[in-house]
Chain A
Amino acid sequence: MSEFAPIRIYLVISLLVSLILLGVPFLFASNSSTYPEKLSAYECGFDPFGDARSRFDIRFYLVSILFIIFDLEVTFFFPWAVSLNKIDLFGFWSMMAFLLILTIGFLYEWKRGASDRE
């Protein structure tokens, strides 16, 4: 059972950190001396005209998703590149098949204009 000691320590520390991060704001948050008027947005004394939030631009999401995909592709390339002399031609063509699938996805994304600047 002593093989699980690192895992147990990891569990305890992660639990502690998340509980601390969750619980400490309760100590420093504003108490009951606040009221809705005090917490509302300030617009030169008037009632707020509109919501301060704007519509979420989907391009943020697209950039992050595309980054994940192509970054993982590069991550898969590294061990392949390092061991290419051992996996001969079969390994080369397997990776080329993987690359082909991702290239088709990239072509689709390019043509659709997912990375265009407006």
Chain B
Amino acid sequence: MFNLFLAVFPEIFLINATFILLIHGVVFSTSKKDDYPPLVSNVGWLGLLSVLITMLLLAAGAPLLTIAHFFWNNFFRRDNLTYFCQILLLLSTAGTISMCFDFFEQERFDAFEFIVLILLSTCSMLFMISAYDLIAMYLAIELQSLCFYVIAASKRESEFSTEAGLKYLILGAFPSGILLFGCSMIYGSTGATHFDQLAKILTGYEITGARSSGIFMGILSIAVGFLFKITAVPFHMRAPDIYEGSPTPVTAFLSIAPKISLSANMSRVSIYGSYGATLQQIFFFCSIASMILGALAAMAQTKVKRLLAYSSIGHVGYICIGFSCGTIEGIQSLLIGIFIYALMTIDAFAIVLALRQTRVKYIADLGALAKTNPILAITFSITMLSYAGIPPLAGFCSKFYLFFAALGCGAYFLASVGVVTSVIGCYYYIRLVKRMFFDRPRTLILYEPMDRDKSLLLAITSSFITLFFLYPSPLFSVTHQMALSSYL
């Protein structure tokens, strides 16, 4: 009986922590005796602690997880892929939560439910990564999306935030519907929702007639739903508005965490569940389109968060290259790309949050940052150049490996489009660097110094980005192990 729940101990702990924090928050923040204290920092630190304990439970409990076969057969599968992806997800969540505390103080943001919702969505993303059944996948995606709809609209005085939340709701519920439609078509045509059974049916023998078109529709709809959620082109339209309108920690969270979990889940579906030509073509087209759009559309942006939104769309395009080639190197390069993308994005959003204290919104506000705050300017430059793919920074390694994998499986067009759009994209990244170092604005904008958590986070991530090329083999061997386990 105990073995039954051994596999999901981290999630059980995180759900219990979430509930306890919810009750703690609501009981104390509505008590007249204590004068209605705003509990968001309190709940925030406790939430950060619970995320770290969950990561400890996950990391230390790996050998025990193979015992629980109840979950193994029905909904979840735990192997190396889920292990490392969940650790990456929890690390990103911990980083994002630690970025928020200053934001809460500055903006006088006192809704502790923000943290509770982040914890709930993290738990659902943990389920999503290990989901092994179409129903489990859909439920986890829905729970994660619902939490995000609310926190995207959490800044109540700002119309921008309301607009972002509304756009996220409408354009997030719709792809969930398409995803569910795809799942139901596949179930109707094959009678199976479990990935093991789907793998045997879809890749085992040739299916002709009405059933094959049902399966095709199903796979197409699932792919479309996923691409919506991961904001790939041509389903990217909501991303810039949502990224710009939501409060910045929400934007940070939403550009890192769902991409990690959705990529892990999608790699399971596309490689294990339905290995074939359909998904590959869709991802091929979408990655080319995303790369091109991410490179071109970001040139016209004047606001920092929109620029980061378009650059993340472009990066999703690069990551989808890993999906398009169905080989182990493809999945390995995808995982390397996701890991480095997560670190770069944490870095970028920590900087944006640090600069936000004096309401920087436009790129022009970054002028002469090198004179007022040289270390921050250098860190920002490192992050931007890593996004652009300049050697020897980490972004170059991830792009190199992605293009290498694409060339290795014969997708020459994909790799060449990737290289060309990388070069085009360099323009606006280097323009930011130029604006920081060489511009002379009429009035210099002075920024307040950032707090300790963000500075620690920036130090860790930017030193990883710069020093990654010296010793990249741990990451390579870890991701190779992860990719192998998704093929077994």
Q: Which residues of A does B touch, CB under 8 Å?
A: 101, 104, 107-108, 111-113
Contacts and interface: CB of A to CB of B under 8 A. Distances in A.
A111 B27 contact: yes
A67 to B, nearest CB: 19
A116 to B, nearest CB: 11
Nearest to B1: A90
A77 B23 CA distance: 24
Q: Which of A101, A111, A112, A113: most chain B Cβ within 10 A?
A: A111
Interface in B206-248: none
A111 B30 contact: yes
A104 B102 CA distance: 29
Interface residues of B, number: 6
Contacts of B23: 104, 107-108
Interface in B366-416: none
B427 interface: no
B68 interface: no
A47 B230 CA distance: 52
B26 A113 contact: no
15 contacts: A101-B19, A104-B19, A104-B22, A104-B23, A107-B23, A107-B26, A108-B22, A108-B23, A108-B26, A111-B26, A111-B27, A111-B30, A112-B26, A112-B30, A113-B30
Interface in B62-81: none
A108 B20 CA distance: 11
Return the 9 tightest CB-CB contacts between A and B, nearest first: A111-B26, A108-B26, A104-B19, A111-B30, A108-B22, A111-B27, A112-B26, A107-B23, A104-B23
A113 B26 CA distance: 10
Contacts, number: 15
Nearest to A108: B26
A104 B27 CA distance: 12
A101 B27 CA distance: 17
Nearest to A105: B22
Interface string B1-40: 0000000000000000001001100110010000000000
Contacts of B19: 101, 104
A55 to B, nearest CB: 15
A85 B361 CA distance: 62
A104 B23 CA distance: 7
Given A104-B23, A108-B26, 8 more contacts: A104-B22, A107-B23, A107-B26, A111-B26, A111-B27, A111-B30, A112-B30, A113-B30
A61 B26 CA distance: 21
Nearest to B15: A101
Nearest to A110: B26
B34 to A, nearest CB: 13
A113 B27 CA distance: 11
A101 B123 CA distance: 14
Contacts of A107: 23, 26
A112 B23 CA distance: 11
A33 to B, nearest CB: 40
Nearest to B22: A108
A106 to B, nearest CB: 11
B138 to A, nearest CB: 18
A117 B23 CA distance: 22
A112 B27 CA distance: 9
Nearest to B116: A108
B291 to A, nearest CB: 42
Nearest to B28: A111
A16 to B, nearest CB: 25
A72 B350 CA distance: 42
A6 to B, nearest CB: 17
A108 B30 CA distance: 10
A111 B26 CA distance: 6
Contacts of B30: 111-113
A108 B26 CA distance: 6
B26 to A, nearest CB: 4
Contacts of B22: 104, 108
A112 B19 CA distance: 15
Contacts of A108: 22-23, 26
Nearest to A104: B19
A112 B29 CA distance: 9
A101 B120 CA distance: 12
Q: Which of A104, A108, A112, A113: most chain B Cβ within 10 A?
A: A108
A103 to B, nearest CB: 10
Contacts of A113: 30
A101 B15 CA distance: 10
B314 to A, nearest CB: 39
Interface string B321-350: 000000000000000000000000000000
Interface in B183-214: none
A113 to B, nearest CB: 7
Nearest to B30: A111
A96 to B, nearest CB: 14
